[in-house]
Amino acid sequence: MENKTYRIAVIPGDGIGKEVMPEGLRAVQAAADKFGIGLELTHIDWASCDYWQAHGKMMPDDWKAQLQGMDAIFFGAVGWPATVPDHVSLWGSLLKFRREFDQYINLRPVRLFEGVPCPLAGRKAGDIDFFVVRENTEGEYTNLGGRIFEGTEREIVIQESVFSRHGTERVLKFAFELAQSRPRKKLTVATKSNGIAVSMPWWDERADEIGRSYPEVAADKQHIDILSARFVLQPDRFDVVVASNLFGDILSDLGPACTGTIGLAPSANLDPERRFPSLFEPVHGSAPDIYGQNIANPVAMIWSGALMLDFLTHGQGAGRQAHDAIVAAIETVLREGPRTRDLGGQADTTEMGKAVAALI
């Protein structure tokens, strides 16, 4: 039995975040109970568009103070465009967490599981197994810019990107370290230095510089256009892929789509130095089109919970065992069922979540 009790802020957010969260918690609690990990859950209804409707903002003013003492944030999804514009809900919640808590790594595993119909011909489980490391606090995701001559034919819109040396080098270092720790030791650096002629050549230079400290890692740079094509045509060639905020966001939807469904894809928004709580969430969003039917695939939420337990315990002891037990249960359910509709089955969110939890 571990001595520490981990404090987790549970934020379902919007749409299917509210439907998959109970299944994420069911699995996390089952694994925590089995391996003797103490959890103290604080349920939070803000960081949601429902809260915005009631209060005119996504979160209370003291949100940071409320979360500061937490060990992690377990987050569902954000966005309800029928009532709140997407950029307002995203900048008012998730992006605040990432930036204010300096969660500068967004780690997104991509894996093809047995039993999951793969849209790419001839691929089998094990062929696709890589990580996207997405820079998570700067890059193309900024609110710097503006409009002039608005509403006229002379209208001009400017949107700046920001790449700091500190921010770029730390994500590259993380990616090189991760690649070095893996058997294949391959790193692909996403770039677009032929077209984006200021920031991307500089990003390449930084990658070359950092790479000199990792001679064992075979690193190559690929333009984002051909890199995306290779995700579809040759996904087995990837091991670790590092990318800017926007490129990483796109690649980490495309990767899981190539492995059958984005409903499986988890993510970890990490402050590797552990000064602040890290945040664990499915890659998918709130999916208003299917919300209310309880048909969303809960695996991405459940797998995110496994990543959370692993990170909290530094990938050791009970936390690593809990992670492995959850992933093994996911593997069995994906292979044998029950499965949700995105996987060709008929099960609902709760049935699939209960099936995973029962195997832990």
What does the binding site for ligand GGG look like in residue numbers (CB under 6 A)?
77-79, 90, 249, 281-282, 284-286
Task: Read off φ and ψ for residue 90, nearest 5 degrees.
Answer: -70, -45
CB of 78 to ligand GGG, least distance (A): 4
Residues 6+ apart with CB under 8 A from 114: 124, 125, 331, 334, 335
Closer Cβ to ligand GGG, 109 or 282, answer by number? 282
Closer Cβ to ligand GGG, 159 or 213, answer by number? 159
Amino acid of residue 36: G
- Looking at beta carbons, which residue is closest to ligand GGG? 77
86 C-beta neighbours (distance < 10 Å), count: 14
Alpha helices in the chain (DSSP H): 17-35, 49-55, 63-68, 86-91, 94-100, 165-181, 199-211, 224-233, 245-258, 299-312, 317-336, 349-358
CB of 165 to ligand GGG, least distance (A): 23
- Rounded-to-integer distance, Cα 218 and Cα 180, Å: 9
Sequence length of the chain is 360
- The secondary structure element, H or E, covering residue 108 is strand 105-111
CB of 207 to ligand GGG, least distance (A): 22
CB of 90 to ligand GGG, least distance (A): 6
Closer Cβ to ligand GGG, 282 or 298, answer by number? 282
CB of 182 to ligand GGG, least distance (A): 24
Residues 6+ apart with CB under 8 A from 252: 106, 108, 110, 132, 134, 265, 267, 283
Closer Cβ to ligand GGG, 88 or 118, answer by number? 88
Alpha helices in 41-92 (DSSP H): 49-55, 63-68, 86-91
Closer Cβ to ligand GGG, 49 or 207, answer by number? 49
Closer Cβ to ligand GGG, 268 or 318, answer by number? 268
CB of 134 to ligand GGG, least distance (A): 8
